[in-house]
Structure 1
Amino acid sequence: MLVRCYRVKPAVWAALFVLVLCWFYIFPVYRVPSDTEIVDEVLRQGGVWEKNQTGIDLYRKLLTDCCDPRRNFAVTKENSPMGKVLWYDGEFYHSHTVNNETYPLFVQRNPLQFPLKKCAVVGNSGILRHSKCGQHIDRADFILRCNLPPLSKDYVEDVGTRTHLVTANPSIIEKRFQNLLWSRKAFVDNMKVYGSSYMYMPAFSMKPCTDLSLRASYALADSSSNLTMLFANPEFLRTVGKFWKARGVHAKRLSTGLFLISLALGLCEEVTAYGFWPFAIGLDGKPVSHHYYDNILPYKWFHTMPEEFVQLWHLHQSGTLRLRLEHCPP
Structure 2
Amino acid sequence: MLAVRAEDTQPVCQYVKEGFNLAYVNDSDVGLKTDLITINPTQIQREFKNLKKNPDPLVKRVSVYGNASLAMPAFAYTFCTALSVSVLKVLHPVRPQQPVVFFNPTYLRTLDRFWKSRGLKEVRLSSGFILISTALELCENVHVYGFWPFGNDLQDNPVPYHYYDQLSPHRYMHAMPEEFVRLLQLHSKGALTLHLQPCSSDNF
TM norm. shorter chain > 0.5: yes
In structure 2, how many angstroms separate the alpha carbons of the residues matched to 1:242 and 1:261?
16
Q: Give me the TM-score of the superposition, normalised by structure 1.
A: 0.56
In structure 2, how many angstroms separate the alpha carbons of the residues matched to 1:328 and 1:160?
9
Q: Give me the TM-score of the superposition, normalised by structure 2.
A: 0.89
Q: Which residue matches 1:323? A: 194
Q: Which residue matches 1:18? A: none
In structure 1, how many angstroms separate the alpha carbons of the residues matched to 2:83 and 2:31?
28
Q: Which residue matches 1:163? A: 34
Q: Which amino acid aligns with 1:219?
A: V
In structure 1, how many angstroms separate the alpha carbons of the residues matched to 2:66 and 2:51?
21
**Partner SS for 2:122:** coil
In structure 1, how many angstroms separate the alpha carbons of the residues matched to 2:40 and 2:169?
13
Q: Percent identity?
A: 42
- Report the alpha carbon displacement of residue 231 of structure 1 after superposing the two structures with TM: 0.8
CA contact (8 A) 2:29 2:198 kept: no
Question: Is it true that 1:285 corresponds to 2:121 in the alignment?
Answer: no
**Partner SS for 2:64:** helix
Question: Is it true that 1:298 corresponds to 2:169 in the alignment?
Answer: yes
Q: Which residue matches 1:184? A: 55
In structure 1, how many angstroms separate the alpha carbons of the residues matched to 2:159 and 2:46?
25
Q: Which residue matches 1:251? A: 122
- Report the alpha carbon displacement of residue 287 of structure 1 after superposing the two structures with TM: 1.9
CA contact (8 A) 1:117 1:142 kept: yes
- Report the alpha carbon displacement of residue 179 of structure 1 after superposing the two structures with TM: 5.2
**Partner SS for 2:171:** coil
Q: Which residue matches 1:144? A: 18
Q: Which of 201, 209, 221 pairs up with 2:72? A: 201
In structure 1, how many angstroms separate the alpha carbons of the residues matched to 2:96 and 2:11?
26
Q: Which residue matches 1:124? A: none
Say which one has the larger Rg: 1
Q: Which of 186, 197, 211 pairs up with 2:82? A: 211
Runs of 4+ in 1 over 6 A off after TM superposition: none
- Report the alpha carbon displacement of residue 286 of structure 1 after superposing the two structures with TM: 2.1
Instruction: Label 1:306 to 1:157 Cα distance change in 2 as closer, same or farther (>3 A).
Output: same
Q: Which residue matches 1:312? A: 183
In structure 2, how many angstroms separate the alpha carbons of the residues matched to 1:188 and 1:201?
16
Residues 274-317 of structure 1: CA distance to partner in whole angstroms, max 9, x if unpaired?
11000012111222121222331022221000100000001111
In structure 2, how many angstroms separate the alpha carbons of the residues matched to 1:117 and 1:222?
28
Instruction: Label 1:225 to 1:161 Cα distance change in 2 as closer, same or farther (>3 A).
Output: farther
Residues 160-207 of structure 1: CA distance to partner in whole angstroms, max 9, x if unpaired?
111111111111111111151331111111110111111111111111
- Higher helix proportion, which one? 1
CA contact (8 A) 2:36 2:69 kept: yes
**Partner SS for 2:191:** coil
CA RMSD between the two structures:
1.7
In structure 2, how many angstroms separate the alpha carbons of the residues matched to 1:204 and 1:288?
32
